[in-house]
Amino acid sequence: MLSIVAADTHPRELVAAAADADAFVRVPPVLDSLFPQSFRRAAARFGVDTWVPVHDLEVIAAAEARDGDRLPVGVVTTAPALEAARLCWDKLLIAEALADAGVPTPKTERGDTVHWRGGCMVKPRNGVGSRAVRLVDDASRRTDEERSEAFVVQEPCVGPEVTVDAFRSAHDGWFAATCRERLDVRAGVATRCRVYSDERLSQLAADVAEVVGLTGSFCLQAMRAIDGDRWLITDVNPRPGGATRMSVAAGMDYHAAMLADAWGDDPRPFLPGLAAERWVARGYVERLLEPEASPCR
């Protein structure tokens, strides 16, 4: 019988996902030196056999633990290859890798570049959830922040903005993808989407997976170039997105496929393809939670 152990840096009563879990563990941040010990203790206590990282830094930590043979005995992880996870965390390096391989992506440079002219998107070089991302004229970039190597500048694109939920098997390379046109976005997460199939975007996602070395379930964002109808890859995430559940609601279960692949099972039954486009809206759900009596540290 499948059981779920949820882990978070916050106490149980502040973690909505804990309401759906069979057990909850409060852990230090993944970059804290105490995190590995806390994870091993929780894995032993609850018999954990699969680590599903949900944040980019956690994906990197899981891949490092696996590749360094530091996972507890019997535990597997859904994280992709370490090099792929690290590449996705650096918006400059992944843009350069895609451009070098011929995958269309917006012109992207370091924030401290001195020869950029005109409007641009400024983004933290490492970041998630569209935090601190804004469209500006070059002259209005914030000197201390956005003109540093910690940011990137990227040529602006035009809508629609589409997320491609994708999957590539680590065992045989089998690939599947669906598209989500982001009709309404709040705090970087889509709340209303049109879910559909598109061969051109699916092929772009397959090309990204090949170049970056991604396996399992991942997602990427695409927008159109200003000078035409070309799709450009604007961001890549080495894990399912916060709104990938919208594709699941439409019949494409990327989370189940990811787990099946990690366990050596067939992921195909979970990704049968879409018979027609679907419209999906997200809403809030209130969860009643109780504090954990003795959190595991």
CB atoms within 10 A of CB 29: 11
Domain positions in the chain: 5-79, 108-153, 157-281
**Tell me: the pLDDT tens digits for 96-134?**
999 999 999 999 988 887 677 777 888 888 877 667 677
Residue 297 has what pLDDT?
47
- 108: tokens are 């992207």
Are the beta carbons of 153 and 109 closer than 8 angstroms? yes
**Structure-model confidence comparison of residues 2 and 203, the more confident one:** 203
* Closest alpha carbon to 268 in 258, 282, 279: 258
pTM to 2 decimals?
0.90
What are the percentages of helix, strand and coil residues in the chain, rounded to 5?
30, 30, 45
How many Å apart are CA 217 and CA 165, to the nearest integer?
7
Instruction: Give tens-digit pLDDT for 199-210.
Output: 999 999 999 999
Q: Which phi and psi angles does 30 have, rounded to 5°?
A: -65, -25
How many whole angstroms separate alpha carbon 69 and alpha carbon 66? Answer: 5
- Whole-angstrom Cα distance, residue 112 to residue 153? 9
Report pLDDT digits (tens) over 47-56.
999 999 999 9
pLDDT reported for residue 112: 83
- Give dist(CA 141, CA 291) in Å, integer: 44
Residue 135, exposed/middle/buried by CB under 10 A (0-12, 13-18, 19+)? exposed
284 class by beta-carbon count within 10 Å (0-12 exposed, 13-18 middle, 19+ buried): exposed
The pLDDT value recorded for residue 1 is 61
Q: How confident is the model over 239-288, as pLDDT tens digits?
A: 999 899 999 999 999 999 999 999 999 999 999 999 999 999 988 889 89
- Per-residue confidence (pLDDT) for residue 293, from 0 to 100: 56
Domain spanning 157-281: which CATH class is it, in words? Answer: alpha beta
Average pLDDT over residues 179-194: 87
Q: Which one is predicted more confidently, 40 or 295?
A: 40
CB atoms within 10 A of CB 200: 12
CA atoms within 13 A on the CB side of 92: 15
